[in-house]
Amino acid sequence: MVSALLTPLKVGSITIRNRVGMSAMTRNRAPGTIPSDTMVEYYQQRAAGGAGLIVTEGILVSRQGTEWAHAPGIWNKEQVAGWKKITDAVHAAGSHIYSQLWHVGRVAHPDAPEQKLAGTPVYAPSAISARGGKFRHIPGQPGYVTPTAVEDPWTLVEQFKQAAVNSKEAGFDGVELHGANGYLITQFLDSTSNSRTDQWGGSIENRSRFGLEVLKVLVEVFGPDVGLKVNPAGGYNDMGMPLQETLDTYRYFIEEADKLKLSYITLVRYQAATDVEYDGKKRATIHDVLESYRSSVKNAKLFLNASVTPQEGAELVAAGKIDGAFIGFPWITHPDLVKRVQHDKPLDNVPDIKHLQWGKDASDFSVGYTDYPVAVY
């Protein structure tokens, strides 16, 4: 039975209709960084399919040259207008939606078209490059470069604040800070990517400062409707510290974040599929994130993400270990995921792997995006 997952839950100032969230997933369908009409249909379908809370794909807080040529932004009026269409459609279908605020930091490329348009260096906490990477939309498909250490991190904090202001104008119910997957927040937290000797680096308190200051300005804008996503196990984008340092760092960061009265904190479990290997060794620091950090969350609602099935999510909710589950990939292939769960229908659609990300060979954004069938009820 999955009934425990299908009950309402108060999250910040809103009450979501069930405890099944749709987690953020980059789908690369925003040409010129502007949300497309096909994206409106995509999110509307999943709201109509029963999602309790939708978190958008990562939304860039400023113009950056990411590995995804068609990732959306939220720094100008045209983007805000595009997102407003999406939030209106989601609300009309009975769901709620948070914007996920995203800065990729060192894993951008100076030769990417959007980075050239930005006219700024690839910024990071320190001039330490990530290993790997492949920018398929740049000739030669180069990897990551050595970034420029940002002189004044407050300038980046301000970008997040403006993105929150723009998110409010676009009609979002809240914002989620992307503090996972080796992007900017993680780069400040992790001692392997942050070698600063000022107030933004060195000690755990200093390495946590950037993420906490960003959360504070988001709370200034959205009050209790601010979420945080973290994946302490690392791996992806060349992230990870020794186990004890990981535990000490993330327990401090999560506990301090929780004091800000956030709406929820999402823990992302270790995922072998997104781990990377260097010199024959796995990069991630594998450990049980729920067991390790559950006690650090006392105020926010706690969600779990990464290969959580509806059955497992319901069992964890019933046991009082989590408040809800963010499900990812199955939402791509099943726009009616919650309805299927409610009616005991199988999750049997076959994923169109070729069109997970829109690329040069795609003639239509909808292929592998909005064309998955719903079940017969």
Radius of gyration of the chain (CA): 19
Tell me the C-alpha distance between 267 and 270, whole Å. 10
User: Which residue, chain included where needed, has tokens 């990517």?
Assistant: 193
Q: Check if 372 is active-site.
A: no
Cβ-Cβ contacts under 8 Å for 323 (sequence gap 6 or more) = 9, 19, 264, 301, 302, 303, 317
* 3-class secondary structure, 179: strand
Instruction: Point out which residues pair with 282 in neighbouring strands.
Output: 277
Between helix 154-169 and helix 204-222 the angle, nearest 10°, is 30
The count of residues in the chain is 377
**Structure token digits, residue 165:** 């202001």
Instruction: Point out which residues pair with 20 in neighbouring strands.
Output: 325
User: Which among 183, 270, 293, 369 is annotated as catalytic?
Assistant: 183
**Structure token digits, residue 257:** 């974040």
Alpha helices in 49-149 (DSSP H): 77-92, 113-118
The 10 Å Cβ neighbour count of residue 8 is 11
Please check whether residue 287 is in contact with residue 233, taking contact to mean a CB–CB distance below 8 angstroms.
yes
* 3-class secondary structure, 3: helix
Tell me the HSE value of 35 on the side-chain side, using a 13 A CA sphere: 27
Nearest to 10 by CA among 1, 19, 2: 19
Tell me the C-alpha distance between 334 and 329, whole Å. 9
Cβ-Cβ contacts under 8 Å for 125 (sequence gap 6 or more) = 105, 149, 150, 153, 187, 188, 193, 194, 195, 196, 200, 201, 210
- Active-site residues, by number, are 183
